[in-house]
Chains A and B, each alone.
Chain A
Amino acid sequence: MFSRAYRLAVALPPVFWVFAFLLLPYAILFCHSFWGVSQFQTIQRTWNLDNYRELVRVPVYFEVLLRSMRIAAAVTFLSLLLAYPLAYYLSFYARHKHLLYQLVIIPLWVSYLVRAYAWKTILGSDGVLNTSLQYLHITHGPISFLLYSPFAVIITLTHIYTPFVFLPVYASMEHIPRPLLEASQDLGAPPLKTFWRVILPLSLPGVFAGATFAFVLSLGDFLAPLLLGGPSGIMISNIVVSLFGAAYNWPLGAAISVCMMVVVIVLLVISERLEKRWSFT
Protein backbone atom coordinates (compact mmCIF):
# COMPACT_ATOMS: atom_id res chain seq x y z
CA MET A 1 0.00 0.00 0.00
CA PHE A 2 3.00 2.33 0.27
CA SER A 3 4.80 3.93 -2.65
CA ARG A 4 8.36 3.08 -3.55
CA ALA A 5 9.58 6.53 -2.56
CA TYR A 6 7.95 6.20 0.86
CA ARG A 7 9.48 2.79 1.48
CA LEU A 8 12.92 3.96 0.43
CA ALA A 9 12.75 7.11 2.53
CA VAL A 10 11.65 5.16 5.58
CA ALA A 11 14.06 2.26 5.25
CA LEU A 12 17.27 3.75 3.84
CA PRO A 13 18.37 6.17 6.58
CA PRO A 14 18.04 3.75 9.51
CA VAL A 15 19.54 0.89 7.51
CA PHE A 16 22.48 3.08 6.55
CA TRP A 17 22.95 4.29 10.12
CA VAL A 18 22.78 0.86 11.68
CA PHE A 19 25.14 -0.75 9.17
CA ALA A 20 27.63 2.13 9.23
CA PHE A 21 27.60 2.83 12.96
CA LEU A 22 26.85 -0.56 14.50
CA LEU A 23 27.87 -3.32 12.10
CA LEU A 24 31.02 -1.53 10.96
CA PRO A 25 32.26 -0.85 14.52
CA TYR A 26 31.66 -4.46 15.53
CA ALA A 27 33.54 -5.50 12.39
CA ILE A 28 36.43 -3.19 13.27
CA LEU A 29 36.57 -4.77 16.73
CA PHE A 30 36.65 -8.20 15.08
CA CYS A 31 39.52 -7.12 12.78
CA HIS A 32 41.53 -5.72 15.69
CA SER A 33 41.44 -9.10 17.38
CA PHE A 34 43.63 -10.46 14.53
CA TRP A 35 46.14 -7.61 14.67
CA GLY A 36 49.05 -6.96 17.00
CA VAL A 37 50.99 -4.25 18.83
CA SER A 38 54.58 -3.28 18.13
CA GLN A 39 56.98 -2.49 20.96
CA PHE A 40 56.34 1.20 20.32
CA GLN A 41 52.71 0.61 21.17
CA THR A 42 51.36 1.18 17.70
CA ILE A 43 48.82 -1.17 16.22
CA GLN A 44 50.25 -3.37 13.49
CA ARG A 45 47.80 -4.48 10.90
CA THR A 46 49.27 -7.84 10.08
CA TRP A 47 46.77 -10.68 10.28
CA ASN A 48 47.52 -13.46 12.72
CA LEU A 49 46.06 -15.57 15.51
CA ASP A 50 48.58 -14.53 18.17
CA ASN A 51 46.00 -12.89 20.44
CA TYR A 52 43.86 -16.00 20.52
CA ARG A 53 46.94 -18.16 21.13
CA GLU A 54 47.84 -15.87 24.03
CA LEU A 55 44.36 -16.34 25.50
CA VAL A 56 44.75 -20.11 25.37
CA ARG A 57 48.36 -20.05 26.61
CA VAL A 58 48.00 -17.81 29.68
CA PRO A 59 45.64 -19.56 32.13
CA VAL A 60 44.56 -16.37 33.93
CA TYR A 61 42.28 -15.28 31.08
CA PHE A 62 40.36 -18.52 31.07
CA GLU A 63 40.19 -18.56 34.86
CA VAL A 64 38.75 -15.06 35.01
CA LEU A 65 36.27 -15.85 32.24
CA LEU A 66 35.19 -18.92 34.18
CA ARG A 67 34.86 -16.88 37.37
CA SER A 68 32.78 -14.28 35.51
CA MET A 69 30.50 -17.04 34.27
CA ARG A 70 30.18 -18.42 37.79
CA ILE A 71 29.29 -14.98 39.13
CA ALA A 72 26.80 -14.43 36.30
CA ALA A 73 25.25 -17.84 36.94
CA ALA A 74 24.90 -17.08 40.65
CA VAL A 75 23.28 -13.72 39.86
CA THR A 76 20.88 -15.38 37.41
CA PHE A 77 19.95 -18.10 39.88
CA LEU A 78 19.38 -15.68 42.76
CA SER A 79 17.41 -13.24 40.60
CA LEU A 80 15.15 -16.10 39.49
CA LEU A 81 14.81 -17.30 43.06
CA LEU A 82 13.64 -13.84 44.11
CA ALA A 83 11.67 -12.85 41.01
CA TYR A 84 9.78 -16.03 40.15
CA PRO A 85 7.74 -16.37 43.37
CA LEU A 86 7.24 -12.60 43.33
CA ALA A 87 5.79 -12.73 39.82
CA TYR A 88 3.69 -15.75 40.81
CA TYR A 89 2.25 -13.94 43.80
CA LEU A 90 1.53 -10.77 41.83
CA SER A 91 -0.04 -12.54 38.90
CA PHE A 92 -2.22 -15.04 40.74
CA TYR A 93 -2.91 -13.69 44.22
CA ALA A 94 -2.19 -10.00 44.72
CA ARG A 95 -5.12 -7.68 45.18
CA HIS A 96 -3.37 -4.47 44.11
CA LYS A 97 -1.35 -6.08 41.37
CA HIS A 98 -0.96 -2.93 39.25
CA LEU A 99 0.39 -0.93 42.15
CA LEU A 100 2.77 -3.70 43.18
CA TYR A 101 3.87 -4.13 39.58
CA GLN A 102 4.83 -0.45 39.41
CA LEU A 103 6.67 -0.81 42.73
CA VAL A 104 8.87 -3.51 41.21
CA ILE A 105 9.59 -1.31 38.20
CA ILE A 106 10.55 1.85 40.09
CA PRO A 107 14.01 0.60 41.16
CA LEU A 108 14.72 -0.02 37.46
CA TRP A 109 14.62 3.70 36.88
CA VAL A 110 17.04 4.37 39.70
CA SER A 111 20.57 4.81 38.45
CA TYR A 112 22.73 1.69 38.27
CA LEU A 113 25.63 3.56 39.80
CA VAL A 114 23.52 4.88 42.65
CA ARG A 115 22.39 1.37 43.56
CA ALA A 116 25.90 -0.10 43.34
CA TYR A 117 27.09 2.75 45.55
CA ALA A 118 24.28 2.09 48.02
CA TRP A 119 25.54 -1.47 48.44
CA LYS A 120 29.04 -0.18 48.98
CA THR A 121 27.84 1.97 51.87
CA ILE A 122 25.96 -1.00 53.30
CA LEU A 123 28.65 -3.66 53.01
CA GLY A 124 31.81 -1.71 53.88
CA SER A 125 33.76 -2.40 57.07
CA ASP A 126 32.51 0.94 58.50
CA GLY A 127 29.32 0.36 56.56
CA VAL A 128 25.75 0.29 57.70
CA LEU A 129 25.51 -3.48 58.09
CA ASN A 130 28.73 -3.96 60.04
CA THR A 131 28.16 -1.03 62.39
CA SER A 132 24.55 -2.12 62.99
CA LEU A 133 25.67 -5.64 63.86
CA GLN A 134 28.24 -4.26 66.28
CA TYR A 135 25.75 -1.81 67.75
CA LEU A 136 23.42 -4.73 68.45
CA HIS A 137 26.36 -6.72 69.88
CA ILE A 138 25.87 -9.51 67.37
CA THR A 139 29.45 -9.20 66.15
CA HIS A 140 32.43 -7.52 67.78
CA GLY A 141 34.60 -6.56 64.84
CA PRO A 142 33.70 -5.83 61.23
CA ILE A 143 33.02 -8.83 59.01
CA SER A 144 35.55 -8.25 56.28
CA PHE A 145 34.36 -10.58 53.52
CA LEU A 146 31.22 -8.50 52.89
CA LEU A 147 32.86 -5.91 50.68
CA TYR A 148 35.59 -6.37 48.06
CA SER A 149 34.61 -9.93 47.31
CA PRO A 150 32.64 -11.82 44.67
CA PHE A 151 29.85 -11.93 47.28
CA ALA A 152 29.44 -8.15 47.11
CA VAL A 153 29.36 -8.23 43.31
CA ILE A 154 26.77 -11.00 43.27
CA ILE A 155 24.44 -9.32 45.75
CA THR A 156 24.65 -5.97 43.94
CA LEU A 157 24.04 -7.44 40.50
CA THR A 158 21.18 -9.53 41.89
CA HIS A 159 19.64 -6.34 43.23
CA ILE A 160 19.95 -4.76 39.80
CA TYR A 161 18.70 -7.67 37.67
CA THR A 162 15.86 -9.02 39.83
CA PRO A 163 13.32 -6.55 38.33
CA PHE A 164 14.57 -7.39 34.82
CA VAL A 165 13.97 -11.08 35.46
CA PHE A 166 10.61 -10.37 37.07
CA LEU A 167 9.22 -8.49 34.05
CA PRO A 168 9.20 -11.23 31.40
CA VAL A 169 8.25 -13.92 33.94
CA TYR A 170 5.29 -11.83 35.09
CA ALA A 171 4.30 -11.07 31.48
CA SER A 172 4.24 -14.75 30.56
CA MET A 173 2.22 -15.59 33.69
CA GLU A 174 -0.30 -12.89 32.83
CA HIS A 175 -0.73 -14.52 29.42
CA ILE A 176 -1.69 -17.87 30.89
CA PRO A 177 -5.41 -18.32 30.13
CA ARG A 178 -7.12 -18.59 33.51
CA PRO A 179 -9.67 -21.20 32.34
CA LEU A 180 -6.74 -23.61 32.07
CA LEU A 181 -6.31 -23.42 35.84
CA GLU A 182 -10.01 -24.06 36.41
CA ALA A 183 -9.87 -26.99 34.05
CA SER A 184 -6.93 -28.40 35.94
CA GLN A 185 -8.76 -27.91 39.24
CA ASP A 186 -12.00 -29.41 37.93
CA LEU A 187 -10.13 -32.45 36.73
CA GLY A 188 -9.00 -33.00 40.29
CA ALA A 189 -5.43 -31.72 40.31
CA PRO A 190 -4.29 -30.33 43.67
CA PRO A 191 -2.81 -26.78 43.55
CA LEU A 192 0.77 -28.02 43.56
CA LYS A 193 0.12 -30.25 40.58
CA THR A 194 -1.62 -27.39 38.76
CA PHE A 195 1.46 -25.31 39.33
CA TRP A 196 3.82 -28.04 38.22
CA ARG A 197 1.92 -29.15 35.13
CA VAL A 198 0.26 -25.92 33.95
CA ILE A 199 1.76 -22.72 35.36
CA LEU A 200 5.44 -23.65 35.38
CA PRO A 201 5.65 -24.91 31.76
CA LEU A 202 3.67 -21.95 30.47
CA SER A 203 5.87 -19.45 32.30
CA LEU A 204 9.13 -20.93 31.01
CA PRO A 205 9.49 -18.59 28.00
CA GLY A 206 9.57 -15.67 30.43
CA VAL A 207 12.07 -17.48 32.61
CA PHE A 208 14.39 -18.09 29.67
CA ALA A 209 14.14 -14.46 28.51
CA GLY A 210 14.81 -13.05 31.98
CA ALA A 211 17.60 -15.51 32.75
CA THR A 212 19.41 -14.81 29.49
CA PHE A 213 19.16 -11.08 30.03
CA ALA A 214 20.50 -11.28 33.58
CA PHE A 215 23.28 -13.72 32.73
CA VAL A 216 24.57 -11.86 29.67
CA LEU A 217 24.52 -8.42 31.23
CA SER A 218 26.14 -9.49 34.48
CA LEU A 219 28.74 -11.47 32.57
CA GLY A 220 29.92 -8.29 30.83
CA ASP A 221 29.69 -5.97 33.81
CA PHE A 222 32.86 -4.18 34.86
CA LEU A 223 31.60 -1.43 37.17
CA ALA A 224 30.31 -3.52 40.06
CA PRO A 225 33.55 -5.56 40.20
CA LEU A 226 35.66 -2.36 40.11
CA LEU A 227 33.59 -0.74 42.82
CA LEU A 228 32.83 -3.69 45.08
CA GLY A 229 34.76 -6.71 43.87
CA GLY A 230 38.30 -6.17 45.11
CA PRO A 231 41.09 -8.35 43.68
CA SER A 232 39.15 -11.59 44.15
CA GLY A 233 36.12 -10.18 42.36
CA ILE A 234 37.83 -9.19 39.11
CA MET A 235 35.76 -10.11 36.08
CA ILE A 236 36.60 -10.58 32.42
CA SER A 237 35.51 -7.07 31.38
CA ASN A 238 37.93 -5.56 33.91
CA ILE A 239 40.77 -7.22 32.02
CA VAL A 240 39.44 -5.74 28.78
CA VAL A 241 39.24 -2.29 30.38
CA SER A 242 42.83 -2.46 31.58
CA LEU A 243 44.02 -3.68 28.16
CA PHE A 244 42.39 -0.65 26.59
CA GLY A 245 43.74 1.68 29.24
CA ALA A 246 47.05 1.35 31.01
CA ALA A 247 48.27 -1.84 29.33
CA TYR A 248 47.47 -0.41 25.90
CA ASN A 249 46.97 -3.61 24.00
CA TRP A 250 43.82 -3.02 21.98
CA PRO A 251 44.15 -6.15 19.83
CA LEU A 252 44.29 -8.49 22.82
CA GLY A 253 41.38 -6.65 24.44
CA ALA A 254 39.48 -6.97 21.17
CA ALA A 255 40.13 -10.72 21.12
CA ILE A 256 38.66 -11.12 24.61
CA SER A 257 35.67 -9.02 23.55
CA VAL A 258 35.14 -11.27 20.54
CA CYS A 259 35.17 -14.32 22.85
CA MET A 260 32.57 -12.63 25.07
CA MET A 261 30.47 -11.83 22.02
CA VAL A 262 30.59 -15.46 20.93
CA VAL A 263 29.43 -16.62 24.38
CA VAL A 264 26.61 -14.07 24.31
CA ILE A 265 25.43 -14.95 20.81
CA VAL A 266 25.50 -18.70 21.52
CA LEU A 267 23.39 -18.08 24.63
CA LEU A 268 20.95 -15.93 22.69
CA VAL A 269 20.48 -18.62 20.07
CA ILE A 270 19.90 -21.29 22.73
CA SER A 271 17.48 -19.08 24.65
CA GLU A 272 15.57 -18.24 21.48
CA ARG A 273 15.22 -21.95 20.67
CA LEU A 274 14.06 -22.72 24.21
CA GLU A 275 11.56 -19.86 24.21
CA LYS A 276 10.09 -21.09 20.94
CA ARG A 277 10.01 -24.68 22.11
CA TRP A 278 8.03 -23.76 25.22
CA SER A 279 5.73 -21.07 23.89
CA PHE A 280 2.17 -22.19 23.38
CA THR A 281 0.78 -19.63 20.97
Chain B
Amino acid sequence: MKGQTLNSPPAWLKLHTLAVFAFLYLPIAILILYSFNGPAVGGFPPSGLTLSWYRELFSDSAMWDAVLNSLIVAACAVLLGLLVGTPAALALDRVSFPGKALFRRLVLLPLILPGIITGLSLLMLWVAAGLKLSLWSIAFGHGTALISVATTEIFAGLQKFDRTQEEASLDLGANYWQTLFRVTLPNLKLPIVGAALLMFTLSMDEIAVTFFLTGRDNTLPLEIWSRLRRGMTPEINAISTIIFAFSLAMILFWYRLRMRSSQAPEVADLVRAATQES
Protein backbone atom coordinates (compact mmCIF):
# COMPACT_ATOMS: atom_id res chain seq x y z
CA MET B 1 0.00 0.00 0.00
CA LYS B 2 3.04 2.24 0.06
CA GLY B 3 3.04 4.91 -2.61
CA GLN B 4 0.37 4.27 -5.22
CA THR B 5 -3.06 4.49 -3.76
CA LEU B 6 -4.94 6.20 -6.50
CA ASN B 7 -5.68 4.29 -9.65
CA SER B 8 -4.54 5.99 -12.81
CA PRO B 9 -3.39 9.57 -13.25
CA PRO B 10 -5.43 11.92 -15.40
CA ALA B 11 -3.78 12.72 -18.72
CA TRP B 12 -3.29 16.40 -17.95
CA LEU B 13 -1.26 15.51 -14.87
CA LYS B 14 1.14 13.42 -16.94
CA LEU B 15 1.42 16.24 -19.46
CA HIS B 16 2.03 18.75 -16.69
CA THR B 17 4.82 16.59 -15.23
CA LEU B 18 6.42 16.30 -18.63
CA ALA B 19 6.17 20.05 -19.17
CA VAL B 20 7.75 20.85 -15.79
CA PHE B 21 10.67 18.52 -16.50
CA ALA B 22 11.11 20.20 -19.89
CA PHE B 23 11.06 23.59 -18.20
CA LEU B 24 13.70 22.46 -15.69
CA TYR B 25 16.02 20.77 -18.17
CA LEU B 26 15.67 22.53 -21.52
CA PRO B 27 17.65 25.64 -20.50
CA ILE B 28 20.49 23.46 -19.24
CA ALA B 29 20.42 21.38 -22.42
CA ILE B 30 20.48 24.50 -24.60
CA LEU B 31 23.37 25.91 -22.58
CA ILE B 32 25.41 22.75 -23.15
CA LEU B 33 24.46 22.56 -26.82
CA TYR B 34 25.65 26.10 -27.53
CA SER B 35 29.02 25.49 -25.89
CA PHE B 36 29.77 23.52 -29.05
CA ASN B 37 28.33 26.14 -31.38
CA GLY B 38 30.72 27.76 -33.85
CA PRO B 39 29.72 31.42 -34.33
CA ALA B 40 28.28 32.62 -31.01
CA VAL B 41 25.63 32.03 -28.39
CA GLY B 42 22.12 31.93 -29.77
CA GLY B 43 21.11 31.78 -33.39
CA PHE B 44 18.91 28.95 -34.57
CA PRO B 45 19.65 26.40 -35.88
CA PRO B 46 23.02 25.84 -34.15
CA SER B 47 25.77 25.62 -36.71
CA GLY B 48 29.41 24.65 -36.98
CA LEU B 49 30.07 22.05 -34.31
CA THR B 50 33.36 22.98 -32.64
CA LEU B 51 35.54 22.43 -29.60
CA SER B 52 37.31 25.75 -30.04
CA TRP B 53 35.52 27.40 -27.09
CA TYR B 54 36.87 24.68 -24.84
CA ARG B 55 40.37 25.21 -26.25
CA GLU B 56 40.03 28.91 -25.58
CA LEU B 57 38.82 28.19 -22.08
CA PHE B 58 41.75 25.92 -21.27
CA SER B 59 44.25 28.59 -22.23
CA ASP B 60 42.39 31.27 -20.26
CA SER B 61 44.56 31.69 -17.18
CA ALA B 62 42.34 34.26 -15.43
CA MET B 63 39.51 31.74 -15.42
CA TRP B 64 41.68 28.99 -13.92
CA ASP B 65 43.02 31.34 -11.25
CA ALA B 66 39.40 31.98 -10.32
CA VAL B 67 38.72 28.22 -10.20
CA LEU B 68 41.68 27.77 -7.87
CA ASN B 69 40.51 30.64 -5.65
CA SER B 70 37.05 29.11 -5.48
CA LEU B 71 38.45 25.73 -4.51
CA ILE B 72 40.52 27.28 -1.71
CA VAL B 73 37.56 29.29 -0.44
CA ALA B 74 35.22 26.30 -0.59
CA ALA B 75 37.67 24.05 1.26
CA CYS B 76 38.14 26.61 4.05
CA ALA B 77 34.40 27.30 4.24
CA VAL B 78 33.57 23.59 4.53
CA LEU B 79 36.16 23.19 7.28
CA LEU B 80 34.80 26.18 9.18
CA GLY B 81 31.20 25.09 8.67
CA LEU B 82 31.92 21.61 10.04
CA LEU B 83 34.09 22.83 12.93
CA VAL B 84 31.33 25.12 14.17
CA GLY B 85 28.30 23.28 12.82
CA THR B 86 29.03 19.89 14.37
CA PRO B 87 29.28 21.15 17.98
CA ALA B 88 26.31 23.41 17.26
CA ALA B 89 24.21 20.39 16.28
CA LEU B 90 25.43 18.48 19.36
CA ALA B 91 24.61 21.46 21.56
CA LEU B 92 21.11 21.78 20.10
CA ASP B 93 20.55 18.06 20.54
CA ARG B 94 21.77 17.54 24.09
CA VAL B 95 22.64 20.69 26.00
CA SER B 96 20.17 23.15 27.46
CA PHE B 97 21.52 26.65 27.96
CA PRO B 98 20.06 30.14 28.25
CA GLY B 99 19.40 31.70 24.86
CA LYS B 100 19.14 28.33 23.12
CA ALA B 101 16.01 29.30 21.19
CA LEU B 102 17.67 32.51 19.97
CA PHE B 103 20.80 30.55 19.09
CA ARG B 104 18.81 28.09 16.96
CA ARG B 105 17.11 30.90 15.07
CA LEU B 106 20.36 32.77 14.54
CA VAL B 107 22.17 29.73 13.17
CA LEU B 108 19.42 29.16 10.62
CA LEU B 109 18.96 32.80 9.66
CA PRO B 110 21.50 32.87 6.78
CA LEU B 111 19.55 30.07 5.08
CA ILE B 112 16.42 32.14 4.71
CA LEU B 113 17.63 35.74 4.78
CA PRO B 114 18.48 37.02 1.32
CA GLY B 115 22.24 36.65 0.83
CA ILE B 116 22.64 40.39 0.35
CA ILE B 117 21.72 41.11 3.99
CA THR B 118 24.15 38.55 5.39
CA GLY B 119 26.82 39.73 2.96
CA LEU B 120 26.43 43.38 3.93
CA SER B 121 26.40 42.64 7.65
CA LEU B 122 29.59 40.60 7.41
CA LEU B 123 31.20 43.32 5.29
CA MET B 124 30.41 45.89 7.98
CA LEU B 125 31.89 43.67 10.68
CA TRP B 126 35.00 43.07 8.62
CA VAL B 127 35.47 46.77 7.95
CA ALA B 128 34.74 47.69 11.58
CA ALA B 129 37.49 45.25 12.60
CA GLY B 130 39.86 47.11 10.26
CA LEU B 131 40.62 44.04 8.14
CA LYS B 132 41.33 44.01 4.43
CA LEU B 133 39.05 42.17 2.01
CA SER B 134 40.67 39.07 0.52
CA LEU B 135 39.98 35.41 -0.08
CA TRP B 136 39.98 35.06 3.71
CA SER B 137 37.01 37.36 4.12
CA ILE B 138 35.13 35.35 1.49
CA ALA B 139 35.96 32.04 3.19
CA PHE B 140 34.95 33.51 6.55
CA GLY B 141 31.64 34.71 5.11
CA HIS B 142 30.85 31.45 3.33
CA GLY B 143 31.81 29.36 6.35
CA THR B 144 29.74 31.45 8.75
CA ALA B 145 26.68 31.44 6.48
CA LEU B 146 27.01 27.69 5.84
CA ILE B 147 27.10 26.71 9.53
CA SER B 148 23.34 26.63 9.07
CA VAL B 149 23.65 23.81 6.53
CA ALA B 150 26.06 21.72 8.62
CA THR B 151 23.95 22.19 11.75
CA THR B 152 20.69 21.22 10.04
CA GLU B 153 22.12 18.11 8.38
CA ILE B 154 24.03 16.86 11.42
CA PHE B 155 21.16 17.65 13.78
CA ALA B 156 18.87 15.58 11.53
CA GLY B 157 21.43 12.76 11.71
CA LEU B 158 21.54 12.97 15.50
CA GLN B 159 17.75 12.64 15.67
CA LYS B 160 17.94 9.29 13.92
CA PHE B 161 20.95 8.15 15.92
CA ASP B 162 20.50 5.33 18.43
CA ARG B 163 21.43 6.81 21.79
CA THR B 164 21.89 3.38 23.46
CA GLN B 165 25.21 2.97 21.66
CA GLU B 166 26.59 5.93 23.55
CA GLU B 167 25.22 4.61 26.81
CA ALA B 168 26.86 1.26 26.14
CA SER B 169 30.17 2.96 25.43
CA LEU B 170 29.96 4.97 28.66
CA ASP B 171 28.92 1.91 30.67
CA LEU B 172 31.90 0.00 29.33
CA GLY B 173 34.22 2.63 30.78
CA ALA B 174 34.93 4.99 27.91
CA ASN B 175 34.88 8.65 28.92
CA TYR B 176 32.77 11.29 27.19
CA TRP B 177 35.46 12.24 24.69
CA GLN B 178 36.29 8.71 23.70
CA THR B 179 32.58 8.13 23.23
CA LEU B 180 32.24 11.28 21.12
CA PHE B 181 35.15 10.49 18.82
CA ARG B 182 34.73 6.72 18.60
CA VAL B 183 30.98 6.23 18.73
CA THR B 184 29.04 9.42 18.09
CA LEU B 185 31.03 11.03 15.28
CA PRO B 186 31.68 7.80 13.32
CA ASN B 187 27.94 7.20 13.40
CA LEU B 188 27.38 10.66 11.97
CA LYS B 189 29.74 10.05 9.08
CA LEU B 190 27.02 10.14 6.45
CA PRO B 191 25.36 13.41 7.49
CA ILE B 192 28.79 14.98 7.92
CA VAL B 193 29.93 13.96 4.44
CA GLY B 194 26.56 15.04 3.05
CA ALA B 195 26.81 18.41 4.75
CA ALA B 196 30.36 18.84 3.46
CA LEU B 197 29.35 18.10 -0.14
CA LEU B 198 26.38 20.41 0.07
CA MET B 199 28.43 23.22 1.62
CA PHE B 200 31.15 22.73 -0.96
CA THR B 201 28.67 23.02 -3.83
CA LEU B 202 26.94 26.03 -2.29
CA SER B 203 30.26 27.76 -1.67
CA MET B 204 31.50 27.12 -5.21
CA ASP B 205 28.32 28.76 -6.48
CA GLU B 206 27.89 31.54 -3.92
CA ILE B 207 27.65 35.05 -5.26
CA ALA B 208 25.50 37.29 -3.04
CA VAL B 209 27.75 37.14 0.03
CA THR B 210 30.92 36.95 -2.06
CA PHE B 211 29.91 40.08 -3.95
CA PHE B 212 30.46 42.20 -0.83
CA LEU B 213 33.39 40.37 0.73
CA THR B 214 35.64 40.08 -2.29
CA GLY B 215 38.99 41.83 -2.48
CA ARG B 216 41.30 41.73 -5.46
CA ASP B 217 40.98 37.99 -6.15
CA ASN B 218 37.86 36.74 -7.89
CA THR B 219 36.09 33.48 -7.22
CA LEU B 220 34.81 31.54 -10.22
CA PRO B 221 31.19 32.80 -10.05
CA LEU B 222 32.41 36.40 -9.72
CA GLU B 223 34.77 35.96 -12.65
CA ILE B 224 31.93 34.60 -14.77
CA TRP B 225 29.72 37.40 -13.50
CA SER B 226 32.15 40.12 -14.49
CA ARG B 227 32.48 38.62 -17.98
CA LEU B 228 28.73 38.31 -18.38
CA ARG B 229 28.39 41.99 -17.81
CA ARG B 230 30.79 42.63 -20.67
CA GLY B 231 29.03 40.29 -23.11
CA MET B 232 28.23 36.69 -23.80
CA THR B 233 30.63 34.25 -25.36
CA PRO B 234 30.30 30.49 -25.78
CA GLU B 235 33.37 30.26 -23.54
CA ILE B 236 30.99 30.91 -20.64
CA ASN B 237 28.80 28.09 -21.92
CA ALA B 238 31.88 25.88 -21.94
CA ILE B 239 32.83 26.63 -18.34
CA SER B 240 29.17 26.26 -17.33
CA THR B 241 29.05 22.84 -18.99
CA ILE B 242 32.14 21.80 -17.06
CA ILE B 243 30.62 23.06 -13.80
CA PHE B 244 27.45 21.12 -14.62
CA ALA B 245 29.45 17.94 -15.26
CA PHE B 246 31.22 18.34 -11.92
CA SER B 247 27.97 18.91 -10.03
CA LEU B 248 26.55 15.81 -11.68
CA ALA B 249 29.58 13.77 -10.66
CA MET B 250 29.20 15.07 -7.12
CA ILE B 251 25.52 14.07 -6.96
CA LEU B 252 26.27 10.58 -8.27
CA PHE B 253 29.00 10.21 -5.67
CA TRP B 254 26.59 11.34 -2.97
CA TYR B 255 23.85 8.93 -4.08
CA ARG B 256 26.27 6.02 -4.04
CA LEU B 257 27.17 6.91 -0.45
CA ARG B 258 23.56 7.22 0.54
CA MET B 259 22.56 3.94 -1.02
CA ARG B 260 23.88 2.31 2.12
CA SER B 261 21.58 4.24 4.41
CA SER B 262 17.98 5.38 4.52
CA GLN B 263 16.59 7.68 1.85
CA ALA B 264 15.76 10.90 3.64
CA PRO B 265 15.50 13.98 1.43
CA GLU B 266 18.24 16.22 2.74
CA VAL B 267 17.59 19.46 0.87
CA ALA B 268 13.95 19.18 1.96
CA ASP B 269 15.20 19.22 5.55
CA LEU B 270 16.93 22.52 4.79
CA VAL B 271 13.85 24.19 3.37
CA ARG B 272 11.74 22.98 6.27
CA ALA B 273 14.35 24.02 8.82
CA ALA B 274 14.72 27.43 7.23
CA THR B 275 11.05 28.33 7.30
CA GLN B 276 9.87 26.44 10.34
CA GLU B 277 12.24 27.58 12.97
CA SER B 278 10.76 25.92 16.03
Contact = CB atoms under 8 A, between A and B. Distances in A.
Interface of A: 1-3, 5-7, 9-11, 13-15, 17-19, 21-26, 28-29, 32, 82-83, 85-86, 88-95, 97-98, 100-115, 117-122, 124, 126-128, 130-132, 134-135, 159, 162-164, 167-168, 170-171, 178-179, 181-182, 191, 205, 208-210, 212-213, 216-217, 219-223, 226-227, 237, 240-241, 244, 250, 253-254, 257, 260-261, 264, 268, 271-272, 275-276
A84 B27 CA distance: 21
Contact of A92 (B5, B27, B151): B5
A118 B30 contact: yes
A213 B5 contact: no
B128 to A, nearest CB: 6
Interface of A is mostly: helix
A13 B13 CA distance: 50
Nearest 6 A/B pairs, CB to CB: A220-B114, A25-B121, A14-B88, A118-B27, A11-B91, A131-B44
A2 B250 CA distance: 37
Contacts of B8: 93
B256 interface: no
A111 B87 contact: no
Query: For this complex, into which size category does the number of interface residues on chain B fall?
Result: 35 or more
B9 A89 contact: yes
B232 interface: yes
Given A18-B106, A21-B144, A240-B120, A113 B28 contact: no
B95 interface: yes
A159 to B, nearest CB: 7
B166 to A, nearest CB: 8
Contacts of A22: 106-107, 109-110, 121, 144
Contacts of B128: 28
Nearest to A223: B207
B76 interface: no
A15 to B, nearest CB: 6
B24 A107 contact: yes
29 contacts: A7-B91, A14-B91, A14-B107, A25-B122, A28-B121, A28-B124, A85-B20, A92-B9, A95-B4, A97-B3, A102-B251, A105-B251, A105-B267, A113-B221, A113-B228, A162-B20, A168-B275, A171-B272, A178-B5, A209-B276, A210-B271, A213-B271, A216-B114, A217-B112, A244-B123, A254-B120, A261-B117, A271-B275, A272-B278
